[in-house]
Structure 1
Amino acid sequence: MRGLLILILAQLMVGCSTHHIPPSLRPSSTSLPTMKELVIDRIGPIVQDHLQSTVREAHDTITASHQTVDTGPARYKQRAIVDTLKDPWAGMRNLERRGLLATELAATTPLDLPSLLDRLTAGMDWPSPPVIPLPIPSGSNRHDSIAFILKAFHQAALHRELALAGLSDQERAFLFDHGRTLVESYTPQISLLSDVTMPQILANTRFAELLHARVKYEHLLAAGQILAQLTTTRWLEELAEAFPDSVPPAQIPSGISGEIRLVQNTPEGLIVIGGPGPNSYELEEPVALILDLGGDDSYRGVIGASHNIRYGNALVIDLAGNDHYAGAPLGLATGRLGVGLLFDRSGDDSYQLSPGSGGAGFGGLGILVDAQGNDQYHGNRLTQGAAIGGLGLLIDTAGNDHYTSHGFALGFGGPLGLGAVIDVEGNDQYQCGEAIPSAYNTHEVPEAKPGDPEFQYDCFGLGTGAGSRVLTTHPQWFTQSLAGGIGLLVDLKGRDRYHSANFSQGMGYFFGAGVLLDLDGEDDYQAARYGHGASAHYGIALFIDRQGDDQYGSTGPYYNGGVAWDHGVSLTIDAGIGHDVYMFDRTTGLGKADYTGWAVFVDEGGRDAYRVKSGFGEVSERSLAGFIDLASDDQYTVLSPSPTFHPINNTSLSHGPGSLFLDR
C-alpha cells in the first residue's frame, strides 16, 4: 500500500511547477506591502567604514579562521549560519531580510499562510515543495465543502508518505517517540559522560541523521501548505451556511459536548464541525479536523497535533469565541513527522501549553495561528515557536498578548530546527525563565537557593538558536555534537516588554542563530547573562530595535548588548532617533568580545544614557569589539571600581588591538 501511494502521488505531480509555490497559491503583488528598508543596509556601511579604519586586522583574522567551519566538529550546520560566520555583515543582512520578508506576509490581510510557510522556510536548505494547489470552493455548498476538506487531507497524506518513504516502520516509530524524549531531556550542552548521557547522545545523533538523510522535508512542507488552505478566509466565512443542521446526539463521539453540525470518519481520522455555541472537545481517538463555528469553547488532550505515527496530520480551526486550550504534552499545534496546525480566528483566548506544544515541531511542522484578541500563552519548556528537526511557528496578528514560558521557547531553534514567533500588533509581554536552574549556580554560587537574588535560571528563548554540544576530550563523543538551528522573534509594533533569564533576546549558542527584531514602539528589555544580542561557541546573534525610546536592563552578572564569546558573532542595533536608557549596572557588555569573538553594538541616534560595569568595545584574546553611537549627546557611566577607560561624547577610543569606542 505504501508503495502504491507513492506511485499515485508521483503520477499526479508529473508536469508540476518546481517553484516554491505555484502562482495560484501566492498572494497577488498588490496585496504585498513594500518591504521595510533593512536597518543593516542603512547603518552597516557607516559602521563598516569606521571598523575598517581601526580594527580591520582583527576582523580579517577572525573571518579567516571561520573559513573552515564547514568541517568543524558539529554536525548538520545550517548554511545561513556558516555564511554569517564567514562574512558577518552579509550574513546578518540576510538574517534581517529573511525575518522582514516573513513578517510582511504575516501582516498581510487576509493572512496567506501557505505563502508565509514557503517564505519562512526558504533559507532552511530544504528543496522546493512540489505543491498542487487545490481549488477553493465558492458559495456555501455542503457537498463541495466536504469534498474540499477530504481532498486536502488526502493530498496532505500523500505528501507525508513521500516525505517518509525512505524510512522503515521501526525508524518512523523511533523518530516519533524520540520527539518526546527530546522535549523531556534536551540540553544545549552535555559535559558528563555516563550510563545515562551516552545513550542519550547516540539517540540524538541517530534522530538527526535520519531526519537529515532520509526525510524529505519539502513534502512535509507541501502537506502543511495544503492543509493551510483550509484556513482561507473566504471559504471560512461562508461555512456556517453549508452546515446549518445539527447531527443527532447519538452520533456525537464521546468526549464532545455542545451542538455538532458534522461527524465523519475518514482514513486520516475523525472530522468534526462544531456549532456556533459553546463546545468542549477531549477525544482519545485520532482526529484529523475539528472546525468550530463559534462560541466559548474548551479543548483538552491532543488538539491539532500528530496523534501517532499512523495519524500524523491534524488541524483545528476555531472561528470565534473566547476559547480555552489545555493540550497534553506534545499535544497542541505540534508536528512529529507530520503537520499539527491550530488556527483560532478571533476571541480572547487562553493557552495552557504543556511541554512540546504551542507551535512546536520535532521532525515535523507545528503551527499555531491566533488572528485576533488579547491572548494568554502560558508555556512549559519547548513551547511557542520551538523546533528540533522541523518547524515550530506561532503567529499572533492582533491584540495585547501575554507570553510566558519555562525555557527553550518563544522562537527557539534547536538542531535542524527553525522556531519562530511573529506578533503583528499590540502591547505585548514576553517572559522566559524562572523555572530551569542554570549550571552556573554550581560553580559560582553553590550555596544559593531558588529565590535568592544571585540564583540564576536559564531561558534559551526569545529568539535563540542552540545546538547540542558534547563537551569532552574524547574525540569519538565530541564529534557527536549537533549544530544549532535558527530561533526568530519578531514584534511589529506596540509598547512591548521582554523579561528573560540567561541566554535570551537574540542569542546564538554552538552554531545556532538567534534573531530578535522589534520594528516599532517604546519597549522595555530586561534580560540576564548572555542577552540582547549575545553569542557563544560559534553562535550567531542579531538584535535590532528599529525605533522608539527604549529601556534596557540586566540582572547580570555578565554579557549583554552586542557580546560574543569563543568565535561567536553578534550584532546589536538600536536604530532610529529614540532616547534610550541602558541600565547595565550589574553586567558587562555594550560591545564586548573574548576568545576570538566578533561583537558590534550600535545606537543610531537620540540622547542616550549608558551605565555598565565594563565594556564599551572591550576585547581579549584576538577578538573584535565595537561600541558605536552615531549621533546626539549621551551620558556615560562606567561602574568598574577603578576605571581606566573614560568614554565621552565626540570621541574615538580603544582598549587595545581589535577594540573601538566611537561617539560621533
Structure 2
Amino acid sequence: GCGYFVIGLCLDCTGDDEYYIHGSGQGCGGVGGGIGVCASFDGKDRYTAEPFSEIFNRGDYHSEHTINGNEAQGAGFGRRGDGSDGHSWAGGLGAIVDIHGDDFYYSGNWSLGVGYWFGTGIAVDRNGDDTYKSCYFTQGSGAHFCNGILLDENGNDKHELYETAGAALGFGWDFANSLLINKNGDDVYRAKIISMGLAQIRSFAFLIDVGGNDSYYLGEGTDGLGEASYRDYYKTPSKLTPYYFYGKSFGGFIDIGGNDFYYDFKDDKQTASSLFKNNSLWFQPSKTDSTYGGNSFGVGIDVESGVIPELEIWER
C-alpha cells in the first residue's frame, strides 16, 4: 500500500493477518501526488513497521538514529529540499484503514496518521480494543505544512509511546494540522514529552476523546494536554520570517464523559496532576501569563457531557 507518482493498494477482507515492512508502506503516499492505502475489513491484525535501526537502518535523528523513520501506517510524505539541493516535492496521501478486530500497530517514527512536507496521513480504526505502540512524530502528528490524523471510533484502546516518546497524540509543528480523535471506550494515553493536543510553530493540534473512563500520562514538566507553545516572534515579527508573526496557533484538548485520570510521571514514578483534572478547564499559556496572546492559544477541557457537531458526521 505505497504510491510515489501512482496509486498503491493493499486490501484484505477477512482473517487474522500480519503485515511487516521496513518502511514506506502500509499506507504511504509519497511525492508526485502518490496515494498509498492499506485496508482490512475484519480480523485481529498486526501491523509492524520495523522500529529498530540495528535490524534495518532507516535511523531518524529525532531518536539518535536508534529508531527508524518508517513513513508507514497512514503517512503522507514529501521531500524537503531547502536544506540540501533545493528540490522539494509535496507529499501525497497515505491511509491505513481497519474496520473490525482487536488490532496491534507497532512502528518507530513518522507513522500512524502522520504528515510531512505538504503530505496528508490518515489512520482509521472503526472497532476493537486496539494498541498503538510507536515512538516520535506519530499517532496524529505532522511537521511542515501538512495534515496528520488518527481516528479510532470504538474500543478500549492503548496509545503508547516508547524511547523518545513524543511529538505525538495530536501534535503539530510548523504550520501543521494534527488531530487524534478517539470515540467510546476506556482509553490510555502515555507520552514523555510534547504531546496530546500541542501546537508548536503556528500549527493546529487537537486530542479529542469522547466517552469512557480515560487515563492520561504525560512526562513531568513537558508541554502538552491542550497547549500552544510560545515563541518571541509571535508578538514581534522577524525581518527574515515575518509569516510567523501573522500566523496562528491553537492547541486543543477535549475529553467528554467518563471519570478521567491525569498523571505526571518521571521514570517509574507517577503522581496525580495538579493542573489537569476531571471536569475542569485550563488555558496554556494561562490568561495571566506574559506569553498569552500573539494569536497563540491553548485550551483544555474535561466535561461530563457534550456534543461536537463536526464529529457526528461519521454517525450519518
TM-score by length of 1: 0.38
Q: Distance in 1 between matches of 2:265 and 2:94?
A: 33
Q: Distance in 1 between matches of 2:250 and 2:74?
A: 23
Matches within 5 A, 1:237-256: none
Q: What is the percent sequence identity of the aligned residues? A: 31
Change beyond 3 A, Cα 1:500–1:537: same
Match of residue 492 from structure 1: 99
Amino acid at match of 1:430: Y
What is the CA distance between 1:630 and its match in structure 2?
A: 0.8
Structure 2 counterpart SS, 1:525: strand
What is the CA distance between 1:640 and its match in structure 2?
A: 6.5
Q: Distance in 1 between matches of 2:74 and 2:176?
A: 16
What is the CA distance between 1:545 and its match in structure 2?
A: 0.2
Q: How many residue pairs are counted as aligned between the two chains?
A: 264
Match of residue 573 from structure 1: 181
Q: Deviations over 1:252-279 (max 9, x none)?
A: xxxxxxxxxxxxxxxxxxxxxxxxxxxx
What is the CA distance between 1:558 and its match in structure 2?
A: 1.9
Q: Distance in 2 between matches of 1:393 and 1:511?
A: 21
The structure 1 segments of at least 4 consecutive aligned residues displaced by more than 3 Å after TM superposition are: 640-645
Q: Distance in 1 between matches of 2:61 and 2:75?
A: 19
What is the CA distance between 1:472 and its match in structure 2?
A: 2.8
Q: Deviations over 1:287-327 (max 9, x none)?
A: xxxxxxxxxxxxxxxxxxxxxxxxxxxxxxxxxxxxxxxxx
1:389 aligns with 2:5: yes
Structure 1 counterpart SS, 2:97: strand
Q: Distance in 2 between matches of 1:420 and 1:644?
A: 39
Structure 1 counterpart SS, 2:259: coil
Match of residue 633 from structure 1: 259
Amino acid at match of 1:567: F
1:564 aligns with 2:193: no
What is the CA distance between 1:482 and its match in structure 2?
A: 0.6
CA contact (8 A) 2:263 2:272 kept: no
TM-score by length of 2: 0.79
Change beyond 3 A, Cα 1:596–1:643: farther
Match among 45, 61, 64 for residue 440 of structure 1: 61
1:515 aligns with 2:141: no
Match of residue 207 from structure 2: 601
Match among 299, 303, 306 for residue 660 of structure 1: 299
Amino acid at match of 1:461: A
1:401 aligns with 2:10: no
Q: Distance in 2 between matches of 1:496 and 1:587?
A: 25
Amino acid at match of 1:599: A
Q: Computing the radius of gyration over CA atoms, which structure comes out larger, 1 or 2?
A: 1
Q: Deviations over 1:607-629 (max 9, x none)?
A: 01110113101222452101110
Amino acid at match of 1:394: C
CA contact (8 A) 2:263 2:273 kept: no
Match of residue 423 from structure 1: 40
Change beyond 3 A, Cα 1:568–1:531: same
Q: Distance in 2 between matches of 1:645 and 1:526?
A: 27
What is the CA distance between 1:638 and its match in structure 2?
A: 2.2
Matches within 5 A, 1:187-206: none
Q: Deviations over 1:463-516 (max 9, x none)?
A: 00011110338xxx53x2110000010000000000000010000000000000
Amino acid at match of 2:46: Q
Q: 1 or 2 for the larger relative contact order (CA 8 Å, sep ≥6)?
A: 2
CA contact (8 A) 1:638 1:646 kept: no
Matches within 5 A, 1:93-112: none
Match of residue 583 from structure 1: 190
Match among 225, 235, 253 for residue 616 of structure 1: 225
Q: Which runs of 5+ in 2 are unaligned?
A: 232-247, 286-291, 304-316
Q: Deviations over 1:492-548 (max 9, x none)?
A: 000000000001000000000000000000101101101110010011011100000
Whichever structure has more helix as a proportion of its residues is 1
Structure 2 counterpart SS, 1:590: coil
What is the CA distance between 1:456 and its match in structure 2?
A: 1.9
Q: Distance in 2 between matches of 1:471 and 1:439?
A: 18
Amino acid at match of 1:426: G
Q: Distance in 2 between matches of 1:643 and 1:529?
A: 25
What is the CA distance between 1:644 and its match in structure 2?
A: 9.2
Change beyond 3 A, Cα 1:503–1:418: same
What is the CA distance between 1:402 and its match in structure 2?
A: 0.1
CA contact (8 A) 2:74 2:111 kept: yes
Q: Distance in 2 between matches of 1:438 and 1:624?
A: 31
CA contact (8 A) 1:436 1:459 kept: no
Match of residue 410 from structure 1: 26
CA contact (8 A) 2:60 2:109 kept: no
Change beyond 3 A, Cα 1:501–1:422: same
1:525 aligns with 2:146: no
Matches within 5 A, 1:105-184: none
Change beyond 3 A, Cα 1:409–1:655: same
CA contact (8 A) 2:17 2:43 kept: yes
Q: Deviations over 1:38-97 (max 9, x none)?
A: xxxxxxxxxxxxxxxxxxxxxxxxxxxxxxxxxxxxxxxxxxxxxxxxxxxxxxxxxxxx
CA contact (8 A) 2:262 2:273 kept: no
CA contact (8 A) 1:399 1:425 kept: yes
Q: Distance in 2 between matches of 1:436 and 1:537?
A: 24
Q: Distance in 2 between matches of 1:460 and 1:557?
A: 17
What is the CA distance between 1:413 and its match in structure 2?
A: 0.2
Match among 647, 654, 662 for residue 276 of structure 2: 647
